[in-house]
Structure 1
Amino acid sequence: MTVFLFRRLLQAVFVLLLTSVIVFVGVYAIGDPLEILLPSDATVAERAQVARDLNLDAPLPMQYLTFLGSALSGDFGRSFVYNRPALDVIFERLPATLELTFTALILSLLIGLPLGLWAGTRPKTLVDETVMTGSILGFSLPNFWQGMMLVMIFAVWLGWLPSTGRGETGEILGIRTSFATWNGISHLILPAVNLALAQIALVIRLTRTGVQETMPLDFVKFARARGLSEWRILLVHVLKNILIPIVTVLGVEFGSLIAFAVVTETIFAWPGVGKLIIDSINALDRPIIVAYILVIVTMFIVINLVVDLLYSALDPRIRSRA
């Protein structure tokens, strides 16, 4: 296990280094932040002064080496727009995004697993066809369209839920969260459901397929011969065997939820890093863009490592090979 962790850490360092080069060159080769930061009537001397202050007058390789040296000490530069350390701005917004994505992930499990189990135990029935049709819609309908429909139905027509913002937050165990107030929960429901719809469809299909492949196996027949109830067989024996592919996919999808919550956060004006990166791209706020992408890549690496460790907990054979 120690060798496995060491190998993965080396891979992580290489991936982060390669990503930093690609992202830095790509971001810094596009556009000129001075055109956005300075008024059109700025003098040449003012432009030169701002360029020196932001280190934009140095050659690109020197800018990258300066960035890399600072990044190794935890400094990703100061935001051009907010005039604050880029990481501080990102970490200020990150809890809102994590709260939204965790809620979406929990919803996908709470809704997708039971529906997948239900459909898997009743193949080619009306229940199975209805659940699978719903999952196809969850995959097929564009995320932005689903979000607009949720706003129109539940916020505009029915007036049950607010459509924008994070709402009031409170503290639970020292952590500020929307779950501490009903106002915060009501603001969280629509964006979390919108973000979870595609994941619910994915969990339904994975669970249904796993159930249908596992139920004919010998260990299930042996469990029936021992007189175990169908629900015990399904929830204890079958579910444990189908969790590995579900954990695999959801681990990767959780990183995707964080990275691609941009659409949902934009529609619902959710103050997370997704909305921040859109605003930063519009303003060519390079330190924020580079820091954001490296933070997301790091989270992907950590999530994949956690998924690998969960493998070993669910299947001892994987632990012995590692």
Structure 2
Amino acid sequence: MVSYLLRRLPQAALTMLVMSVVVFVGVFAIGNPVDILISPQATATERDNAIRALGLDLPIWQQYWSFLVNLFQGDVGRSFVFNVSALHLIMERLPATLELALASTLLGLVIGMPFGLYAGLAPNSRVSTSIMAGSILGFSLPSFWVGIVMIMLFSVHLGWLPSGGRGDTVYWLGARWSFLTTDGLAHMAMPVLNLALFQISMVIRLTRAGVREVILSDYVKFARAKGLTETRIILVHVLKNILIPVITVVGLNLGTVIAFAVVTETIFSWPGMGKLIIDSINVLDRPVIVAYLMLMVLMFVVINLLVDLAYMVLDPRVRLESR
């Protein structure tokens, strides 16, 4: 496993370097933050001084080189708007986004796998048909519309849940978390469910397809011939072999949920990274945008690596191939 990690690290470093060029050029070559950050009533001298202070008077290659040198020192720049470290701003919002992403992924697995398992074992039953029809709705309904309906139903009409915000938080492990308080859990309920609907539907269909394929395999037939109970066959032989595709898709989708939770965070006024990046785009706060995008690239690289390591744990063939 160590040799495998050593082979993957240069690939990850090259990926980060290429993406840094793409992100930097894409963000810094579009728009002019000076037009937004500096008052139109400012004099030409004040305008020139602000441009030099922000480093926007340099050619783009010099700006990138300065960004790259600072990046290796752990500095991604200072926010044009707040005049603090862009990474500090993002790390303050990261726990809020991680709460939603991890909770929705866990909910997707806890609900999706049992339903998908049942739908795969009894594909012709009415319950299975209803489950698959519900999964289609989960794929089809837009998250912004579902979020608005949730607010109208559970907050406005029934008054069961708060419509927005993060609620009470508890300081733990250097960050503030909502899931450790009752009020925080109440505020998390609707945004987590909104994010989880797509994942529940995806896990249901992946699990069902995997069960239908595995249940007809020779080793399952051999296990039945040995006299093993149906419960043991399902838990040991079927479930373990369908975990690989499920882990692959759910793991990669976790990065997508973290990166694109912006719609849910906006609807429910959740103070996460998504809301921060929208505000930063509106004012062309380039350092914050670049820091956010680079963090997303790093997350995808790490998640891909963790998924590959999970393969090695679940599938002995992968371990033999890596050797």
TM over 0.5: yes
Q: Aligned-pair distance for 1:260?
A: 0.8
2:95 corresponds in structure 1 to 95
2:26 corresponds in structure 1 to 26
2:9 corresponds in structure 1 to 9
Q: Aligned-pair distance for 1:159?
A: 1.1
Given that residues 172 and 180 in structure 1 are in contact (C-alpha distance below 8 angstroms), is that contact kept between their aligned partners in structure 2? Answer: no
318 and 269 in structure 1: CA distance in 2 versus 1, 3 angstrom threshold: same
Q: Aligned-pair distance for 1:312?
A: 0.4
Mapping for residues 259-278 of structure 1, pairs under 5 Å: 259-278=259-278
Amino acid at match of 2:4: F
Amino acid at match of 2:302: V
Given that residues 115 and 131 in structure 1 are in contact (C-alpha distance below 8 angstroms), is that contact kept between their aligned partners in structure 2? Answer: yes
How far apart, CA to CA, are the structure 2 residues paired with 1:225 and 1:18?
Answer: 54
How far apart, CA to CA, are the structure 2 residues paired with 1:145 and 1:229?
Answer: 45
Given that residues 95 and 175 in structure 2 are in contact (C-alpha distance below 8 angstroms), is that contact kept between their aligned partners in structure 1? Answer: no
User: Residues 6-58 of structure 1: CA distance to partner in whole angstroms, max 9, x if unpaired?
Assistant: 22111111111111111111111111111111112111111111111111111
1:317 corresponds in structure 2 to 317
1:304 corresponds in structure 2 to 304
How far apart, CA to CA, are the structure 1 residues paired with 2:208 and 2:230?
Answer: 16
Q: Aligned-pair distance for 1:104?
A: 0.4
Aligned residues: 322
Amino acid at match of 1:321: E
How far apart, CA to CA, are the structure 1 residues paired with 2:163 and 2:81?
Answer: 27
Amino acid at match of 1:300: F
Given that residues 79 and 285 in structure 2 are in contact (C-alpha distance below 8 angstroms), is that contact kept between their aligned partners in structure 1? Answer: yes
How far apart, CA to CA, are the structure 1 residues paired with 2:207 and 2:25?
Answer: 42
How far apart, CA to CA, are the structure 1 residues paired with 2:11 and 2:217?
Answer: 38
2:116 corresponds in structure 1 to 116
How far apart, CA to CA, are the structure 2 residues paired with 1:229 and 1:188?
Answer: 40
**Aligned-residue RMSD, C-alpha:** 1.2
Amino acid at match of 1:29: A
Q: Aligned-pair distance for 1:172?
A: 5.2
Q: TM-score, normalised by structure 2?
A: 0.97
1:176 corresponds in structure 2 to 176
How far apart, CA to CA, are the structure 1 residues paired with 2:199 and 2:244?
Answer: 16
Q: Aligned-pair distance for 1:212?
A: 0.9
Given that residues 139 and 198 in structure 1 are in contact (C-alpha distance below 8 angstroms), is that contact kept between their aligned partners in structure 2? Answer: yes
3-state SS of 1:176 partner: strand
1:256 corresponds in structure 2 to 256
1:202 corresponds in structure 2 to 202
How far apart, CA to CA, are the structure 2 residues paired with 1:92 and 1:13?
Answer: 25
| Greater Cα shift, 230-239 or 19-28 | 230-239
1:155 corresponds in structure 2 to 155
2:146 corresponds in structure 1 to 146
Q: Aligned-pair distance for 1:218?
A: 2.2
1:281 corresponds in structure 2 to 281
Amino acid at match of 1:117: L
Report percent identity of matched pairs: 59
Amino acid at match of 2:298: T
2:79 corresponds in structure 1 to 79
How far apart, CA to CA, are the structure 2 residues paired with 1:206 and 1:185?
Answer: 29
Structure 2 gaps of 5+ residues are none
3-state SS of 2:176 partner: strand
Given that residues 259 and 274 in structure 1 are in contact (C-alpha distance below 8 angstroms), is that contact kept between their aligned partners in structure 2? Answer: yes
1:126 corresponds in structure 2 to 126
3-state SS of 1:179 partner: coil
Amino acid at match of 2:118: W
User: Residues 233-286 of structure 1: CA distance to partner in whole angstroms, max 9, x if unpaired?
Assistant: 212221001000001111100110111111111111111111111110001000
Residue 221 in structure 1 maps to residue 215 in structure 2: no
How far apart, CA to CA, are the structure 2 residues paired with 1:217 and 1:29?
Answer: 55
Q: Aligned-pair distance for 1:175?
A: 5.3
Given that residues 92 and 175 in structure 2 are in contact (C-alpha distance below 8 angstroms), is that contact kept between their aligned partners in structure 1? Answer: no
Q: TM-score, normalised by structure 1?
A: 0.97
2:234 corresponds in structure 1 to 234
2:46 corresponds in structure 1 to 46
